[in-house]
Amino acid sequence: MKHKIAIFVLLSGIVSTLFLIEELALSITIITILTILFLAVLAIGVTTIKWNYFIKSVNRVKPGKICFTFDDGPSENTLKILDILDKHQVKATFFVIGEKCIKHPEIIQKMMKSGHFIGNHSFSHQNNIGWSSTKSVIQEIEKCNLAIENTAGYKTNLYRPPFGVTNPNIARAILSTNMLSVGWTIRTFDTQIADPQKLISKVKPRLNNKGHIVLMHDTCEQSVLALDAFIQHCKETGLEIVNLNPAEIP
């Protein structure tokens, strides 16, 4: 919707400029500025899922609560994440990659047994998803759904686009597969910060009562220690850790 408004504003601006401004050089300058602004907004819209630029996503839970989500697994490291969650008796959502799901069905079943949610993070986590056709994104979603159903016996409707990238094709694919797009408000950058202490000191101050959905990766070793510290912090500050139940979504 926001994208359609931006297109309307751009086209109205161009038409008005052509009709109202007589000086050619000035018209060209205004149209160039409008186009650059449009492209800048478009670029941020594609890469910032919480803008809800192409599709409305769930980016928060209710105030006073917090939700931890893990992308890109399952992997051997997921077991350590599961141990930390079990130790603190809290639940999380894992956005799994379909082909890894097929490789590690026992980890998926362990997630299920511990009461965590499983979401769809595409079948192969294509690097070029931003350039994929609607049909290709639909196939990626459906193949991952099938992999989850076959390993977990569980049908998910939660979908997080790889890299959090959205565009008109991805939005159409999400709508036509009846998935619920899930974003985040806090990106931990745990794939880039290898030192767990650095990761903890960077993210912990941001874990407040604004209903954050936190993006982590169960593939990263540093995320294990960091998760332990984050949960401890939530307990100390009275933040309720919840999962992506419909009742927790504002």
Which residues are catalytically annotated?
A: 71, 217
Given 68, 72, 73, 119, the residue binding Zn ion (CB under 5 A): 72
CB of 73 to Zn ion, least distance (A): 10
From residue 148 to residue 167, what is the string marking binding to Zn ion with x (rule CB under 5 A)? --------------x-----
Cβ proximity to Zn ion: between 71 and 218 the closer is 71
Cβ proximity to Zn ion: between 10 and 161 the closer is 161
Cβ proximity to Zn ion: between 181 and 234 the closer is 181
Asked if 190 is part of the footprint of Zn ion (rule: CB under 5 A), the reply reads: no
CB of 33 to Zn ion, least distance (A): 35
Give the 3-state DSSP-derived string for the chain, with helices as H, strands as E and coil as C: CHHHHHHHHHHHHHHHHHHHCCCHHHHHHHHHHHHHHHHHHHHHHHHCHHHCCCCCCECECCCCEEEEEEECCCCCCHHHHHHHHHHHCCCCEEEECHHHHHHCHHHHHHHHHCCCEEEECCCCCCCCHHHCCHHHHHHHHHHHHHHHHHHHCCCCCEECCHHHCCCHHHHHHHHHCCCEEECCCEECCCCCCCCHHHHHHHHHHHCCCCCEEEEEECCCCHHHHHHHHHHHHHHHHCCEECCCCHHHCC
CB of 43 to Zn ion, least distance (A): 20
Given 66, 71, 118, 181, the residue binding Zn ion (CB under 5 A): 71
Asked if 228 is part of the footprint of Zn ion (rule: CB under 5 A), the reply reads: no
Give contact residues for Zn ion (rule: CB under 5 A).
Answer: 71-72, 162
